């Protein structure tokens, strides 16, 4: 082969390779952005879809995929296996604290996430607190027309089918508050005492369930009383359940947006969180389900009457307690092991 023909062959090959790279880049650029968001399903995720997922997709053209199963154990398993399929997860405070402790999260980019309206305590390196919710005692008004107190929930003489949370968080606090422990004296939790209180009615607890499943049980008429997030039971009532709920012995908590370490779409995750923490979107979530926004400017966009159904409303807040995520960070593993054994006995 002559030198000129060899050079021509090499040049043609280089041009082809460069052309392929350019075409690949163009195709990549044409692909829509994508973000996968994990939550809990049911009416809460329906509300998130209307307030966050669909508006973000419409505003940006990104593909937004909502999935369920969010929780500390699932996040830990994904990150440690290196098989991360979620980008963003919604995390309760105790899950968030343990995810931070175990180095499972991507540090947030506050050059993208503009969250000035959110108090500093809800803007951390690894999470943004975006709602406040309450875990509340709820009951069937046909079964208990005169109402139901937290003490009665744990009174074996008060017969009824009970549902409590699958995890020990909230339920242990609820039991202690119902047994007369003051909110200021709640932590460190007296686990022995709490399990003893629950033990009084253990034979009447028919379900240890997540929030979506508990709401379904209420709507299907399969339980008479439950400890459940206020927004979930509120939506069950909207769906026709003759139920009500109170704020005595309620336990409030914050829900956080976090980004998984190893997330496949980190930049889009940051952009989504920025969108979701803005006042308009937070206010819309509250209109869909009565959880309290953390962005102070979102409160200005809400009907004042809505505030009376939020956990942060002063008359509601003073009747319950706030979950201590730091205590759960330090004690969850041992308590969870004991709890799992207890509920299976």
Query: Which of 131, 133, 149 is CA-nearest to residue 244?
Result: 149
- 275 and 227, same structural domain? no
Residue with the larger pLDDT of the pair 129 and 300: 129
Average pLDDT, the chain: 91
How does pLDDT run across 141-180, given as a tens digit for each residue? Answer: 999 999 999 999 999 999 999 999 999 999 999 999 999 9
Q: State phi, psi for 92 to the nearest 5 degrees.
A: -70, 165
In-domain check, residue 15: no
Task: Find out whether 118 and 294 touch, Cβ atoms under 8 Å.
Answer: yes
- 145 and 50, same structural domain? no
- 262 and 235, same structural domain? no
Q: What is the pLDDT of residue 152?
A: 98
How does pLDDT run across 84-117, given as a tens digit for each residue? Answer: 999 999 999 999 999 999 999 999 999 999 999 9
Domain total of the chain: 2
- 327 and 230, same structural domain? yes
- 245 and 150, same structural domain? yes
- 203 and 172, same structural domain? yes
What is the pTM assigned to this prediction? 0.80
Q: How many CB atoms lie within 10 A of CB 147?
A: 11
In-domain check, residue 65: yes
Q: Which pair of tokens denotes residue 50?
A: 């209307």
Average pLDDT over residues 314-318: 89
Query: DSSP characters for 240-278?
Result: T--EEE--TT-EEEEEEEEEBTT-TTHHHHHHHHHHHTS
Dist. CA 295–CA 212, nearest whole Å: 26
Query: DSSP characters for 16-84?
Result: HHHHHHHHHHHHHHHSPPEEEEEE--HHHHHHHIIIIIHHHHHHH--EEEEEE--SHHHHHHHHHHT--
Helices (H), ranges, 104-190:
150-153, 171-178
- 294 and 234, same structural domain? no
The lowest-confidence range among 29-33, 251-255, 331-335 is 29-33
Range of the domain at 225: 134-252+320-344
Query: Which residue in the block uniquely carries the two structure tokens 């026709």?
Result: 240
- 95 and 224, same structural domain? no
In-domain check, residue 144: yes
């Amino acid at each position: 082969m002559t030198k000129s023909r060899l050079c021509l062959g090499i040049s043609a090959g280089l041009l082809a390779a460069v052309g392929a790279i350019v075409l690949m880049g163009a195709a990549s650029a044409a692909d829509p952005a994508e973000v996968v968001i994990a939550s809990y399903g049911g009416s809460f995720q329906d509300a998130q879809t209307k307030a966050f997922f669909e508006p973000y997709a419409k505003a940006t053209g990104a593909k937004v995929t909502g999935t369920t199963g969010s929780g500390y154990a699932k996040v830990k398993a994904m990150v440690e296996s290196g098989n991360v399929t979620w980008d963003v997860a919604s995390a309760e405070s105790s899950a968030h604290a343990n995810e931070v402790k175990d180095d499972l999260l991507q540090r947030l980019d506050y050059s993208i996430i503009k969250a000035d309206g959110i108090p500093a305590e809800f803007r951390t390196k690894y999470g943004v607190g975006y709602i406040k919710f309450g875990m509340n005692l709820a009951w069937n008004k046909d079964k208990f027309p005169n109402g139901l107190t937290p003490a009665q929930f744990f009174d074996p003489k008060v017969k009824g089918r009970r549902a409590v949370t699958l995890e020990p968080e909230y339920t242990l606090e609820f039991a202690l508050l119902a047994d007369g422990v003051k909110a200021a004296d709640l932590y460190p939790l007296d686990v022995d005492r709490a399990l003893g209180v629950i033990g009084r009615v253990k034979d009447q607890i028919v379900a240890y369930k997540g929030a979506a499943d508990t709401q379904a049980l209420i709507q299907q008429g399969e339980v008479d009383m439950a400890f459940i997030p206020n927004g979930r039971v509120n939506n069950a009532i909207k769906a026709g359940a003759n139920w009500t709920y109170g704020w005595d012995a309620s336990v409030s908590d914050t829900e956080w947006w976090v980004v998984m370490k190893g997330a496949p779409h980190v930049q889009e995750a940051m952009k989504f969180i920025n969108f979701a923490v803005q006042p308009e979107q937070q206010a819309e979530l509250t209109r869909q389900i009565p959880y309290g926004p953390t962005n102070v400017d979102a409160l200005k966009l809400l009907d004042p009457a809505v505030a009376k159904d939020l956990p942060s409303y002063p008359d509601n807040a003073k009747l319950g307690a706030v979950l201590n995520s730091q205590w759960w960070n330090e004690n969850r593993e041992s308590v969870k092991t004991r709890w799992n054994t207890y509920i299976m006995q």
